[in-house]
Every structure is written in C-alpha cells, then in structure tokens.
A and B are shown apart, each in its own frame.
Chain A
Amino acid sequence: MTGLVARDVGGAWHVLEGTLAAPPAPLAALAAHHGVGGFAKLALAPDGTWQARAELPLDVGAVHAERRAVTIAALTALLARGVHAEPSDGGSAGFPPSLENGIDAVAARCREVAWPSTRLDLGTLAIDLGLRGVRHARVATVAATGAVRVWVELDRIRAPLDPRCERALALLLLRAAAVVRLVRPVLERRATHAVVAFEVAHEGSPPEPVELGHAFAALRVAAETTGREVRVLARDPALAAAYLRHHDLEHEQIVHPRRPAGFDHDCRRCRLSTKGEAMHTATATAETFGLEIRDVSGQKHMKAEVPTDATISELLEDLLARLNLGRVDAHGAPIGYRVRLDREARHLNGDERVADALVPEDRLTLHPSADAGAGRGARA
C-alpha cells in the first residue's frame, strides 16, 4: 500500500487515498478512468491536491474485502504509473456492450432497496433518481468483464467540444469526485457527440442490494450537484474560460497540458502573444473593425466601428462618450470603467491594443466601479 492512506469515516465508509506525484492535466485524469478497476478514481481535492482515492461502504458484508482488494490494486497502479498524457483521442470509444445475463437478478436487488427499475432493453435497467429533468440512472452488466456498471448521464454534447469547455468540464467533474463518495466521472467521446456521466462499477461479485442503494444515492447527489453546471460549461466557451480563470489555474497547465511552454496553433492567446503570427498580423492590417458594445443595464447595445490602432483606454474614452454613460458620481468624482471581453471572460488592460486583443465582432461590456450607500452623500 505504498503511498496509500486508509481510514474509516464515521464507521460507515472506508476511505483510501494517495497523492499523485505530479499534477495531471484534467482531461488526461478523466480519460484515465476508463478501464480503471474497483472504485478507484482520480479527484481534485478542495485544497488543490490531486488524489487517487476511493470510498468503500462498510455496511456491505463480506463483499467489502473483495472490493477493497480490487480497489487497492487499481489505486496502487494509478499512483505508480501516474497520469502522464492525454490520449490522442482524449477519451474512450464509448460505453461497453451490455449483457442480458443476470439483469433480472440485479433488478430484484434494486427493488429490495426501494429503487424500482424499468427495463430499457434486454441488458439495461433504468432507475428513476427522483431528479428534475427526468434523469435516470442506468444499470447494465458489462459483456467483457461481467462487472455491473451503474451510471447516470449528465449531458450529451454535440462534437466537437470547444477545448475550453472540455477542460472546464473535466475540472468540475474531478472536483466533484473529491466530494461525492463512490462515484467517478467519465467523458465518453463518440463520433457525433460526447457523453458526460458519473459511474460506479462493481467488479467480481454482483453488487449487494445495499451497494446498489449506495450507488444510486451517490449518483443522485453527483447529478444534482453538477448537472446544471455541466450543461452550461459544455456549451458556453466564455463561461468555461471564466470558470478556468476563477479557479486560478495556470494557462499553460490547464489549457495546454501537452505544451507547457510551447505554442498552440489552436489557441488565439498563444497566437497573439507570438509576434508575426498570421492572425496577429491579419487583424492589425485592418484599419477598423466592428464590435458589439453593451452597458451593464442591457439598455445600450451598440455596434461600433473601432480603429484597430487605438488602445483599450482610448477606445473606452470614446465609448463612454458615445454611449452617454455616467462619467462622474454624485460628488463629481470620476467613475472608473473596465472593458470586459466576453469571448475570453476577462477585463482588458488599458494599454492593450485593439488589434492585438480583439477580433471583429467581439462583444465588449463596459463595467463601472460605482458606489452605493450613505457615504459622503446627502439625501436624494
């Protein structure tokens, strides 16, 4: 058990955890879940440490020892080899085929712990988790291994996913894996879409009824905790970028795990930070281009043709005048503004040049710094 620490929590759960020697890229960590044994999983703990961990229920009887042995082997292997690189396809080929064999027995065990199931097809059961949005868990026996897999789909997203969305999703799911017991997140990439799911896989002996009960309860919590966030992060690159930024993760580490110090042709920020790149110069050659400008109230929504040689500060000065936005507060003190670039979900610096920071049709929002309160004021 080198590197693994075991402890019991509240007399109900047995926790195994070890710290990874090197922090993995989130997508690589997610991809590493495919084919991993037992209840082993990778997780990003709230303190920022990357863990290989597992939580095993203690109230499952004799099968606990078997599950623990399989899980320890899987965790030890994970810690020994680490998570080095993202696979070329970035994920798995899809859910394994299921077996009809034994599914009726599993359905009976589900009923035993008050999780009645519906037969979806020959080899798959659906269990209503009681969540809004008609989200069901599914149970199937995996043909290749005989493992009983229990999973809940959080979302199906049309491929290809924006890289920022993909990485933000991975980060969210791996953070959830650290706080929700038993479940591990998976991202299944298929030809036309990707499936985001949480799963619990029971290898060896079929799951005891109480184990199924724990799995459904954990999947319910995981789906409830992350379902809405997954749907948004999967579809909104700007918000995904904001999420990545919010968690204070380094650009090189999160956005380009395979090129820690290099250049990524797919990344506009890399292109803009490298002199002479095609897009960089292309934007600089145009004298003006169009932008969408909004104020914070949503009242003012303008199209502006802006000179590309202007700095953001110069642009802001002109925009404030043209949009007739408040420049001074009640006491004549100036109101400061910052320009937010929606595409990158960040405030631009005043000395950045339009040609360097923006592309045509970018959307900018003007964010003021303004005071409320009794302050220096008299009554209105």
Chain B
Amino acid sequence: MSWRWQVELTRPDGTLAAVVPFEPDWEPASIWVRFEGMRRGLLPPVLSSVVGEVEPCWTEATAGPYVEALRIAVRGDGDTSVVERIPAAYLTRQIRALVPRLVASGVIAEGEVLTPRVTAALVSDPAANEDGDRRRLRVTEIPRTLPLIETPIGWFLNDATPYDVGEGDPDVPVFVPERVLREVEACAAAAGGVETGGFLLGHLHRDPARPEIFVEVTAQVPAAHAIAERLRFTFTPDTWAAVEDVCRARGCDESIVSWWHYHPPWCASCPPERRKTCALDTMTFSADDVSLHHLFAQAHQTALLVSAKEHGLVHSFFGWRAGSVAARGYYVTH
C-alpha cells in the first residue's frame, strides 16, 4: 500500500492558494518509533534508518483526505511490530521548507499568510524508484547494535534531581552530572559576548526490569575549530573530527549523546521595557538549532541550551519526541 501526499495551502479567506505534492521524510519518525520499541523491550536494540510503514489517520469523522495524524509501524524480528501515532504537526517543518521554492516559482507570494493542510490518497500502482536506479552507488545498511549497559535506573534516580520531568514523562531519561553542567557554564562564562558550544559524551543504559533505556552523560567536550559569533555558532567539519578524536582518545567507549550551545546575554544593554517585546530575549531553540539537531539523528540524542538571563544561566534540554524536536526534562546527578 502506498500513499500520495499533498499539502493544500489556504488563504485566510478560505480560497485555495496552491496544492503542492511532496514526499515526506519519514525517517526521523521511524527512527523514533523503532527506539520506542527498544525502550519497551519489544524490538532488538539494533540501529536502523529503514522507514516504517506509514498510514494517514483522517481528521475526525471523515474518511479523508485530510490528515490529522500518522500511524507508523516499524517491524522487528518475526511478527513483532511497534506502532505509534504521530501528530501531523510532524510535517510542519518539512512543509515550511517547501516555501522558498514555491515563492521562487511564483506559486505563492512572499509574505502571504497561508494555512497548510495535508492530504493523502491511496496509490494502487506506485511508480518505481527510477532515481535510485540511475545512481552509481549501491548502498546497504550495516546493522549496528546499540551499546547498552545493563543498570537498574534506580541507581541513578536515587541520586538525581529532576528538572522539567512530569508524571509519566514520555521521553527517554537523561542523567547529567552537576559537574558537567558547571563545566558547561564555565565555558559559557569564558565565551564573553559570543555564542559557544560543545558536545556531551556518555553511555546508554538499559534497565531490563522496567524495561527502560536511559542516557548517562559522563563528560562535556568544548567544540574545537568552531566559529563563534554573537548570534551564531558554527560546527565545522574539523569540529566533528576533533570530538571524534577526543572520544576515541578517552578510551571509555563513550559516544556523543548530546550537544550544547550557549546564547549570550544579547539584551543586557537594552532597557527592561524594550526587552519585554524583544524576540531575542525570549529566544529558545531557534530554527537553526532545530535544523542542526537533525544531524543528531539518534532518537536518544539531545541538545542542551544554556541561555544567559537576568537572573543567571538557564539550562534547557531538547530532544526527539514523535520524530520532532521538543523541549524535554532531564535529571541532574550529584
């Protein structure tokens, strides 16, 4: 079964501005669904980017074609499969990415306010992937087992303070030592008026009794060879090379479990009344940050944002939830 996906762009007066076919990228959602299966012990802990089976969930009391949510099924060994419902908002970022092309081709006007609605239609005879046949590369995925250390999560919870973690929190638990946060803060303080950033290294643990997978942060590594500016921080290819070298040099079988960056106090020189309406002062995870986080494609990988506010440095964690990047909680260990 295959589906043809389109997005209808409607003006505020209800008239249709455009109907645009598009090919959604189901990979982040599929990776997240597979990881949820691993957390529950339903799927083996093997990394894969193979896209799951996607079906639309229609808006309430209709038989289509408007899509309210998506149902993604990822199969494991044998008959086991994990199914998750993903809100249609998952596609918002991808629809937004279509806009520059539509403006450039004159389909929509720049600055026009439009409301998107996703539609889906069943295709009985899907077209063959001719593009794949034309390519000169043959690529096959190498299955890689997620390195998990069997540890009761209680060992960590007993010594941890939760931040922004609610009852029944759906996200994979992340434990960050207070010492690491202090190191990050010291790097942020040393950066002065420009942004700075780095990586958090750590291990993945599994508590088979629950079952649950959780993340232990063990160290932070400042980003080397990065380009720091007042409103931007660039991770260059040399930055990645350096952190990979550090990871191997430490010899602790750690991996990159998170990245962090610091937003300096842009608004310190502005009067308080102006700050109330200033976008920078309320800035959290920017579109650039979300875009960068898509490079941290594993479902357990998170981002730590350190922001300078009037009362001091504020930490916020972001991570994958239902294939999208969302604010999330974390635990500080002492």
A interface with B by C-beta (< 8 Å): 228-229, 231-232, 236, 239, 242, 288, 292-293, 295-307, 310, 315, 318-319, 321-326, 328-332, 336-338, 340, 345, 347, 365, 367-380
Which residues from chain B contact A369 at a C-beta distance below 8 Å? 234-237
Q: Are A370 and B234 in contact, CB atoms less than 8 angstroms apart? A: yes
Chain A proximity mask over B122-157: 1 for CB below 8 Å, otherwise 0: 000000000000011111111010000000000000
Q: What are 14 of the A-B contact pairs (CB < 8 Å)?
A: A297-B296, A298-B144, A301-B47, A315-B137, A324-B25, A324-B49, A326-B291, A326-B295, A338-B237, A368-B235, A372-B288, A373-B261, A374-B263, A378-B279
Contact indicator A379/B138 (Cβ below 8 Å): no
Q: For the complex, is B270 an interface residue (Cβ under 8 Å from A)?
A: no
Contact B279 A329 (CB under 8 A): no
Q: How far is the CA of A299 from the CA of B255 in the complex (A)?
A: 11
Which listed residue, B136, B197, B255, touches A298 by the CB 8 Å rule?
Answer: B255
Partner of B297, one of A288, A297, A336: A297
A368, B237: Cβ atoms closer than 8 Å: yes
Contact of B285 among A300, A304, A322, A380 (CB under 8 A): A380
> Are the CB atoms of A298 and B237 closer together than 8 Å?
no
A372-B137 CB under 8 A given contacts A229-B249, A296-B240, A300-B49 = no
Chain B 273-303, CB within 8 Å of chain A: the 1/0 string?
A: 0000001101111111111101111100100
CB of B240, distance to nearest CB on chain A (Å) = 4
Tell me the bound Cα distance from A324 to B24 in angstroms.
12
Q: Let me know if B241 and A340 touch, CB within 8 A.
A: yes
Indicate if the CB atoms of B137 and A304 lie closer than 8 Å.
yes
The docked-state distance in angstroms from the alpha carbon of A228 to that of B249 is 8
Q: Which has the most chain A C-beta neighbours within 10 Å: B250, B282, B287?
A: B287
Which of A303, A315, A332, A338 contacts B142, CB < 8 Å? A303
Contacts of B296 in A (CB 8 A): 296-297
Interface SS of chain A: mixed
With a cutoff of 8 Å between Cβ atoms, the chain B residues found around residue A365 in the complex are: 240, 244
**Best-buried of A304, A310, A323, A371 by chain B (most CB within 10 Å):** A371
B138 and A305 contact, CB distance less than 8 A: yes
B251 interface residue (CB < 8 Å to A): yes
Knowing A306-B137, A374-B263, the reply to whether A296 touches B236 (Cβ < 8 A) is no
Minimum CB–CB distance for A362 against chain B, Å: 14
| Residues of A contacting B297 in the complex (Cβ-Cβ under 8 angstroms) | 295, 297, 299-300
Which residue of A242, A302, A330, A379 is within 8 Å of B139 (Cβ)? A302
Closest to A370 in B: B292
Please tell me if the beta carbons of A375 and B137 are within 8 angstroms of each other in the complex.
Answer: no
Contact assessment for A297 and B291 in the assembled complex, using a CB-CB cutoff below 8 Å = no
Q: A299-B298, A303-B142 are in contact. List 18 more A-B contacts (CB 8 A).
A: A295-B295, A295-B297, A300-B141, A301-B142, A306-B137, A307-B136, A323-B139, A324-B49, A326-B294, A330-B287, A340-B244, A368-B237, A369-B237, A372-B195, A372-B288, A373-B232, A379-B286, A380-B289
A229 to B282 CA separation, bound complex (whole angstroms): 44
Q: How near does chain B come to A199, taking the closest CB pair, in angstroms?
A: 25
- Nearest CB on A from B49, distance (A): 5
Does B27 have its Cβ within 8 Å of any Cβ on chain A?
A: yes
For A228, list chain B residues within 8 Å (CB): 249-251
Q: Which of B145-197 contact A (CB under 8 A)?
A: 195, 197
Contacts A228-B251, A338-B237; is A380 near B139 (CB within 8 Å)?
no
Q: A307-B136, A310-B136 are in contact. Are A340 and B286 (CB under 8 A)?
A: no
B259 nearest CB neighbor, chain A only: A372
User: Does B31 interact with chain A (Cβ within 8 Å)?
Assistant: yes
- Closest Cβ of chain B to A337, distance in Å, is 7
B213 at the interface (CB under 8 A from A): no
Note all chain A residues with C-beta closer than 8 A to B100.
Answer: 332
The 8 A CB mask of B193-205 against A (1 = contact, 0 = none) is 0010100000000
Rounded to whole angstroms, the CA-CA distance of A84 and B218 in the bound complex is 46
Residues in chain A near residue B144, CB distance under 8 A: 298, 301
Interface centre among B25, B27, B244, B256 (most CB of A within 10 A): B244
- The answer to whether B232 touches A303, judged by C-beta atoms less than 8 angstroms apart, is no
